[in-house]
Amino acid sequence: MALEVGIVGLPSSGKSTLFHALTGTRATSDVGMAAIPDPRLTQLAGVVGARKVTPAAIRVVEVRGTGPALLGNLRQVDALLVVLDGFSGTRTPGDDLETLRLELLGADHDHVERRLERIVKQAKSGEQKLKQEAAELERLLAHLDGGATIADWPGQLPGGLEPLTTKPLISVENGPGGIDLKLEAELRDMSAEDAAEFREGASALEEVVRGLTRELDLLTFFTAGEKETRAWTLRRGRSALDAAATVHSDIARGFIRCEVIRWDDLVAAGSHAEAARRNLQRLEGKAYEVQDGDVLNIRFNV
Q: Quick check: 246 pLDDT over 90? A: yes
Helix runs in the chain, H state only: 15-23, 39-48, 68-71, 93-123, 128-145, 181-188, 192-198, 204-215, 240-247, 249-253, 263-269, 272-277
Can you tell me the distance from the alpha carbon of 36 to that of 212, in angstroms, rounded to the nearest whole number? 10
For residue 140, which of 121, 167, 122, 166 has the smallest C-alpha distance?
166
Q: Quick check: 196 pLDDT over 80? A: no
- The per-residue pLDDT for 212 is 87
Distance, CA of 267 to chain centre: 28
Query: Which pTM does this prediction carry?
Result: 0.84
Angle separating helix axes 93-123 and 128-145, nearest 10 degrees: 150
Distance, CA of 102 to chain centre: 23
Top-tier CATH class for 237-300: alpha beta
pLDDT, mean of residues 168-174: 93
For residue 206, which of 214, 198, 197 has the smallest C-alpha distance?
214
Across 77-81, 199-203, 238-242, least confident range: 199-203
- The per-residue pLDDT for 24 is 86
CATH of domain 4-213: 1.10.150.300
Higher pLDDT, 29 or 147: 147
Higher pLDDT, 97 or 70: 97
The helix, strand and coil proportions of the chain, stated in percent and rounded to the nearest 5, come to 45, 20, 35
Give residue-wise pLDDT tens across range 32-86: 998 898 999 999 999 999 999 999 999 999 887 777 767 878 888 999 999 999 9
What are the structural domain ranges in the chain?
4-213, 237-300
